[in-house]
Structure 1
Amino acid sequence: MIHGQLQNLNLIPAIAAMVDEMTAWRRDLHAHPETAYEENRTAAIVAEKLRAFGLEVHTGLARTGVVGVLRNGDGPSVGLRADMDALNIVEQTGLPYASTYPGKMHACGHDGHTTMLLGAAKHLAATRACKGTVVFIFQPAEEDDGGAQEMVADGLFEKFPVDAVYGLHNWPGMDLGTIAVKAGPIMAAYDSFEAEIIGHGAHGGMPHLGVDPVVAAAQVISAWQSIVSRNIDPYDSAVISVTQVNAGDTFNVIPDAVRLKGAIRSFSADVRDRVWDRMEGLAQGICTGFGARFVWALHSSYPATINTDTEAGLAALAAAEVVGAHNVNHHPAPSMGAEDFAYMLNERPGCYVWLGNGPGTGGCMLHNPKYDFNDEALAIGASYWVRLVENLLPV
């Protein structure tokens, strides 16, 4: 049932009439969260519904991915993507539809993303109010495991060619009934590192007989924090976070080594390379000065999510048709969070938008054990998908 401020939006009536049905789908998915490449139940439900809608269905891309295809004559082809996976988090919502799988939880709203795209697929399959091909992409393993990259490597766009690809994410802290969209970087690149500073162990009371890697590590960590403020253009953005420091086993022994782990976030390849180069240069110099050695390994993860100009404009038009032009934020500050939809945008032009999920109060933010997707957003997201397709593939 649609009520409150949603009554003032331009929701597609048939989509609004599906709210109770979509809510039931979403809460069932929420109660049965599945993590990376284990989305077997979720994928089976998605495939079953797509077949029931009358779509062509393909399974097994990136192991548990599902692709539904709606063909309606000659015309352009557009891809719409939703992620399906959950997180390894113990849910603390106390909701009647809370996770029934211990230690797993839909704490990022992928249950809602899947549901909104299913709702759009059902509506478009019934109306066929488009000329061309719509590829509905249900992706596994967005959280840290690069399911989008694996789908691309499995031939997603060779098997299902699209002219452009679109994604969305719910966004706590943005008002319900708002959508944020911009051209250019919207989510950061994410890379992790593991480093070891190797000294020479000694008695804690006789430090002059060893090389203390702890002191060297403290200097390295402090120096790294100067990189963003002193080596990166103030108009660019980067984050360096040392998230793990491990060394030693007892009170009176200087350890042989200190192990560091952390992450780097950036929006451009040039900034990313500059950060890596300065981190290594500073660490090597400091460790050499202390008589220690520095070794490390970098792990490239998700690239930056960068929306293309034309597709961002088309997404903004569709968003305005649903929520009103005054509820479309064209200048959101990019997030330092990462998103593997970036791999799809590296292959095809497209746009990734944020859908308001409400205030996010009481700990109800992404990746929080008290988070829950806002079911009132279901009709908004599904209506956005439909309007986008109708605009891109006019009859």
Structure 2
Amino acid sequence: MSTGLDLRGLRALRRDLHAHPELAFEEHRTAGVIADRLRELGVEVTTGIGGTGVVGVISGAKPGPKVALRADMDALPMTEDLPRPHASRSPGVMHACGHDGHCAMLLGAAELLVAPPDFAGTVVLVFQPAEEGAAGAPAMLADGLLEKFGIQEIYGLHNIPGMPVGDFAVRPGTQLASFDDLDITLRTAGGHAMAPHLTGDVIVAGSALVTALQTIVSRRLNPTVPAVVSITQFTAGTTNNVLPPTAHLRGTARCLDADSRDTIEKLVGEICDATATAHGVDVELVYERRYPCTVNDPTAAARVAAVAADVVGADRVDANCAGILAAEDFAFFLEQIPGAYAFIGNGPITAESGAVHNPAYDFNDDIIEPGARFLAAIARAALVDLG
């Protein structure tokens, strides 16, 4: 069997996945396409892990450690902007984060690892559902992923628009932020707009609350710790002459430090209580912790940098990049076992290919090859080091 990559086939597969996006825990077609391709390569396949997850096992020529590589499969509830030949055929759903490309890169790594599997140990390929806020990683963990397959370390790779094509970046320690949800309901009696003194005003109170919450980061946290509190929804009222009895705010809090995360939660609660008192309304807060920080093992991060340098050259690898305030449920894997999460450049942000979570976004097929070669190489390097 050839040791090369079927790049034409991988591009076609990536574009097929892009044209048929599926939301969290609905990735049935995607999982089927991936499972079929793995079986064609002679890879042992298990489906249904964590709902719609697919796991492939490549056994080496000799016994040894077990290392996992992970790609995410789900799309986002968005409408694709541009009329590409491979544009989404599912109204209101699109691959706006590149998970289609992540799957293609991991399938490419599988091609390289089976041709031939001349290593000691086992590589476990994890195709995970429901990364986009639905916690597919915990679902796979709850289904016994680590125990069933004996995984000792795990590695992941995410494309980053704005980074040069095929460049790599990683950092030891915290690379991605924690992610929490804020859901706030304000209540009062309501009444006629001509007589605001006879009732509380949830719109004024909510406006004050938005302003106060967004001073947490600028005035109450250590300015050296990246963090953000954003209110993204504010709904209230049904007409122009009624002061509504309820208002509803939703938002998110993110930071790159566990202590700051605790502080943000505490301050959100205090500000909600103070706003209720100051404005004479009831405020109910539901603060839900979602994803923890993604914290790379320092040894694993150093291994990522060294392997990436071998693949594309040391001048194209940032071994100590800045952390970013995006969140990833890969963090749940790293809470259980060592590993690292790396970035690969998707190229410039343009009108034809926007940032992630943008309706113009598209994965750059030119990074399938370096991504696949990196994933295969990091698995081999980890097996050697662990052995």
Q: Normalising to structure 1: TM-score of the pair?
A: 0.93
308-317 or 276-285, which deviates more: 276-285
CA displacement at 1:289 relative to structure 2: 2.3
Structure 1 unaligned runs (5+)? 1-12
**What secondary structure is seen at the aligned counterpart in 2 of 1:145?**
coil
After the TM superposition, which segments of 4 or more aligned residues of structure 1 sit over 6 Å from their partners? none
- Partner of residue 143, structure 2: 154
2:250 to 249, 256, 261: 261
1:172 deviation in Å? 0.7
Identify if the C-alpha distance between structure 1 residues 250 and 101 changes in structure 2 by more than 3 Å, giving closer, same or farther. closer
Q: Which amino acid aligns with 2:79?
A: V
One-letter code of the match for 1:32?
H
Residues 177-209 of structure 1 show CA distances to partners (whole Å, capped at 9, x for unaligned) of 200111111111111111122223122111221
Distance in 2 between the 1:301 and 1:126 partners? 40
Partner of 1:233: 222
Match of 1:377 among 351, 354, 367: 367
1:81 aligned residue (61, 70, 87): 70
Native 8 Å contact 2:302 2:319 kept in 1? no
Compute the displacement of 1:85 (Å). Answer: 1.2
How far, CA to CA, are the matches of 1:335 and 1:237 in structure 2? 8
Give CA deviations for 1:265-300 in whole Å, capped at 9, x if unaligned: 112221111111111112212221222221111122
| Of 178, 185, 197, the match for 2:186 | 197
Deviations 1:72-93 (A, max 9, x none): 2221110100011111222222
Cα gap change, 1:156 to 1:95, in 2 (>3 Å): same
**Separation in 2, partners of 1:88, 1:225:** 27
Give the secondary-structure state (helix, strand or coil) at the position aligned to 1:137. Answer: strand
Match of 1:308 in 2: 297
2:205 and 2:275 in contact (8 A); partners too: yes
Whole-Å Cα distance in 2 between the matches of residues 292 and 127 of structure 1?
68
C-alpha displacement at 1:332, in angstroms?
2.1
| Whole-angstrom CA distance in 1 between matches of 2:39 and 2:3 | 20
| Structure 2 alignment gaps of length 5 or more | none
Question: How many Å apart are 1:28 and its aligned residue?
Answer: 1.5
Indicate the SS of the match to 2:179: strand
1:157 counterpart letter in structure 2: L
Deviation for aligned residue 1:383: 0.6
Q: Do structure 1's residue 388 and structure 2's residue 386 form an aligned pair?
A: no
- Whether the 8 Å contact between 1:199 and 1:257 is mirrored in structure 2 is yes
Asked if structure 2 preserves the Cα contact closer than 8 Å seen for 1:130 and 1:389, the reply is no
Matched, 1:145 2:137: no
Matched, 1:25 2:33: no
Shift in Å at residue 378 of structure 1?
A: 0.6
- Once the two structures are superposed, the pairs formed by residues 206-355 of structure 1 within 5 Å of their partners are 206-355=195-344
* Partner Cα distance (2:81, 2:110) in 1: 32
- Are the aligned partners of 2:68 and 2:379 in contact in 1 as well (CA < 8 Å)? no
CA distance in 1, matches of 2:141, 2:365: 30
RMSD: 1.5
What is the Cα deviation at residue 225 of structure 1? 1.8
Q: C-alpha deviations, 1:51-80, integer Å up to 9, x for none? A: 221221111101110100112222111010
Please tell me whether residue 43 in structure 1 is matched to residue 37 in structure 2.
no
Matching of residue 359 in structure 1 with residue 348 in structure 2: yes
Please tell me the residue identity of whatever aligns with 2:132. Answer: E
> Residues 102 and 198 from structure 1, CA distance in 2 versus in 1: closer, same or farther, beyond 3 angstroms?
closer
Amino acid at match of 1:139: Q
Question: Percent of aligned positions with the same letter in both sequences?
Answer: 45
- Aligned counterpart for 2:166 among listed residues 157, 172, 177: 177
**Could you tell me which amino acid in structure 2 is paired with residue 349 of structure 1?**
P
- The total of aligned residue pairs comes to 382
- Amino acid in the other structure paired with 1:379: E
- Cα distance 1:71–1:196, how it changes in 2: closer, same or farther (>3 A)? same
Q: Report if the CA contact (8 A) 2:272-2:285 is conserved.
A: no
1:247 deviates by 1.5
TM-score, normalised via structure 2 length: 0.95
Contact 1:53 1:126 in 2 (8 A): no
Q: Measure how far apart 1:102 and its partner are.
A: 2.1
User: Do the aligned residues in 2 keep the contact of 1:129 with 1:390 (CA within 8 Å)?
Assistant: no
How many Å apart are 1:132 and its aligned residue? Answer: 0.4
Amino acid at match of 1:51: R
Q: Which amino acid aligns with 1:344?
A: F
Q: How many Å apart are 1:348 and its aligned residue?
A: 0.9
* Residue 64 (structure 1) aligned with residue 52 (structure 2): yes
Where 1:149 maps in the other structure, the secondary structure is helix
